[in-house]
Structure 1
Amino acid sequence: MKIQDWAKDQINNLIANYERKNCTEGGLFTKAQAMLELERRAGGSFDGKEVTRTTLEKRETATDGCVRYGDIWCHYFPEKQWVGNRSGNIVGQALHATAYYCATNNLPIVTALVSQAAGHITEQAKQNMFDCASDWGVAQGIDVDEFYDINIAELQELGADNLP
């Protein structure tokens, strides 16, 4: 049986068991595999590669190099108005799809380029990215700041046309 066939409750139970035992492997799937499967599912129907490409393209036209949730929303839903939390949740799904795609293709996490309306990445957002990348087994660096700096440096080299 593949992890994609497991129910969400089964995956959450596997993760909880790993956390209770303070380990990351030993079951049918590793904790990282389980966490990545939840991330894949959180992406909904969005194609991670396509959202990654879109984000990288939007970065090229962003005045401060920071792509905003609204930029992604307008790309996918150009005729629809932003409607608070509902729109934010939909963009969140797109970003989950991107994060999964990046993690499973050995790419820097492109969501590091995306901010909410304020136009800057909060310390909490950086921490969340680091925690997720650590759970998935793809974090580089020893702490949040080093991870983020490495990620941003690698993103400078990543173009929309050279995705795997």
Structure 2
Amino acid sequence: MTMVGGATGLDTRQQAWAAAASVPDPEVPCVTVADLGILRSVELVDGVAVARVTPTYSGCPAVLAIELAVEAALRDAGFEARVERVVSPAWTTDWITPEGREKLRDYGIAPPQQASSSIRSLFGEIEVACPRCGSAKTERLSEFGSTACKAHWRCLACREPFDYFKCI
């Protein structure tokens, strides 16, 4: 097993996980790769920390930056590191942790609806609560937000615009 900080076995794997899990998403920096559920696993294989990452979607422009940041975080924590891209099963917004959803809301982004397999949530027939005031009286302004994974909405109660993290 790899030795880091005098720990071996599970403690070392937990250290590797913690290092990789701390990497923020470059497009939505309020959440980490672990919050988003795109960090699938971190294992020690022949002394190398191997992190497995699933892109949010096939055309995500941030995937290479994320992989490099995860590798750098592992190396900074004292590990020899490798990152593997895992594309199956495909990532879904259902993988965002409850903590990640709360971080998005606190940042002013409405988190995606649960149950991404729902036809209603996939095709925009949804009720999105305002992340600022909590009102359900909102309207979609544009299917396109500041990044490909977000849509632009407005609250009719507090009149504030906000992003909604699209259901995938």
Q: Could you state the TM-score of these two structures normalised by the residue count of structure 1? A: 0.29
Q: Greater helix share, 1 or 2?
A: 1
Say which structure, 1 or 2, has more relative contact order (CA 8 Å, 6+ apart). Answer: 1
Q: Greater strand share, 1 or 2?
A: 2
Specify the structure having the higher radius of gyration (Cα): 2
Q: Could you state the TM-score of these two structures normalised by the residue count of structure 2? A: 0.28
